[in-house]
Every structure is written in structure tokens, then in C-alpha cells.
Structure 1
Amino acid sequence: MEKSVEDLLREYKNYTVDIINLLEKESFDSIEDKMMERQCALDELVSKLDQKYEARIFYNELNMKEVEDKVQKLMKKKTLIIKEKLDNISKNKMASSAYVKGINSAKIFSKKI
């Protein structure tokens, strides 16, 4: 049985809400699966181009704009946090390697000739 536009939009919204919950829990490993499922629902919805008007009505009824804005803001926020953590790791690694390099070169000067 073929799903209606309303069912597809509800399914899409549920996947989006699940993604929001996973982002809030920082369960990043599970997000990819939900994103794939969400994309499948979206692809199926896009295939129903003849029902565009109906889709727009249900989109507004289900407050999809707010849900999508929320997931987008949350994804940007988490991306920035992860990027910042990676930058800190990179800086720490560079500082550590510079420190080790400094210690190794200092040993040359402490040897008796």
C-alpha cells in the first residue's frame, strides 16, 4: 500500500525529532542511520510531485518549519563544539611534539665532549 503525503510528512517529522533527541544526548553514532531513514522518507515524498499543494498544507499543520529549524540550529551548535574540541586536540598535539622535540635537542647540549 502506498503511503499518503500526510503519513510521509509525519514519518519525516518523527525521524527529525529522533535526530534532535540523539543530538541532545550526543549519541552521534546513531544519527547516521536516522539521517538515512529520514532521507528515504524525503525521497518518497519528493516523488509525489503531483500532490505538492497537499504536502504544503500538511507541512504547515505539522509545524515542520520549526522542527527543521531546531534540528538545523542544534546540528550547527554540535558541529562547532566538535570542531572546537578537534582544534584543542590538534593544538595539544602540536605543543606536545614541540615540547618533546625541545627536550631531545636539549640533550645534545648536556653531553660532555
Structure 2
Amino acid sequence: MVKNVEDILMSYKNCTEHIIELLKREEFDFLQDAMQKRQYILDKLISNIDKKSDTREIYNKMHIKELEEETQKLMKNKAGSIKEKLKSISVNRTASSAYGNIGSSAKIFSKKI
């Protein structure tokens, strides 16, 4: 059973490393599939757990926690970066719209009385 848990954790680690690479290359289109695959592996691990201490020992030995922390940090940074870009686009669109509406407003001062 320990060997099976070790194989599952190795797959989980490889999938997490793949997600880190996707985040670094900003290939967000493939990120959803990788996250679903990782969740499937995690579900399989949870369903097969008989000895938590063995699993925890292998988990620590493979340094998976550090990978998960790096993944979380990268995801937060990329999400923040994307939010800033969207905010900038929104501000630019609002300014462009406001400048575009200047010419179409009513021209009460140009009419003769």
C-alpha cells in the first residue's frame, strides 16, 4: 500500500510542477485541465488512505508542501497582475468613452439666439 501511495504522491508532485511551469509561461488556457487532473489525483489519494502517517512521511520526504506554497504564491501574483491589467483597461475605456462623448454632446453655446 505504501508503494501505491508513493506513486500517487509522485503523480501529484509532477502535476504540481507542471502547473508551476504553466503559470511561469503564462499559459492560462491549459491551467484548468491541469488543475482538474491534480484534483483527480488528490481525490484518488484521499480515497486510498489507510495509513496517514506513512502518507505524511512520504509527503514530507518529497517536499510537496514547498511546491504547493510556490504554486499558491505564483497564482496569487498572476491573479493580481491580471486584475491590475483589467483595471487599467477599464480606466482607459472609460476615458476613451468620455473623450468620445465630448463631440456628440449638445452644443448650446454655438447656436445663435
What residue number does 1:85 align with? 85
Larger helix fraction of residues: 1
What residue number does 1:46 align with? 46
Query: What is the DSSP-based 3-state SS (H/G/I as helix, E as strand, rest coil) of the residue aligned with 2:51?
Result: helix
Gaps in structure 1 of 5+ consecutive residues: none
| Structural mapping, 1:54-69, within 5 Å | 54-69=54-69
Q: State the Cα distance separating 1:37 from its structure 2 match.
A: 0.5
**Distance in 1 separating the partners of 2:7 and 2:49:** 15
- % identical aligned pairs: 48
Q: Give structure 1 regions of 4+ aligned residues with deviation exceeding 2 angstroms.
A: 107-113
**Distance in 2 separating the partners of 1:110 and 1:26:** 52
What residue number does 1:108 align with? 107
Structure 1 residue 95 corresponds to structure 2 residue 95:
yes
Q: Deviations over 1:14-70 (max 9, x none)?
A: 010000000000000011111010000000011123121111011001001110010
What residue number does 1:14 align with? 14
AA aligned to 1:63 is: H
Q: How many residues align?
A: 110
Q: Deviations over 1:58-96 (max 9, x none)?
A: 100100111001000000000000000000011111111
Gaps in structure 2 of 5+ consecutive residues: none
Q: In the alignment, is the contact (CA less than 8 A) between 1:5 and 1:51 conserved in 2?
A: no
AA aligned to 1:62 is: M
Query: What is the DSSP-based 3-state SS (H/G/I as helix, E as strand, rest coil) of the residue aligned with 1:4?
Result: helix
**Distance in 1 separating the partners of 2:33 and 2:109:** 57
**Distance in 2 separating the partners of 1:91 and 1:103:** 20
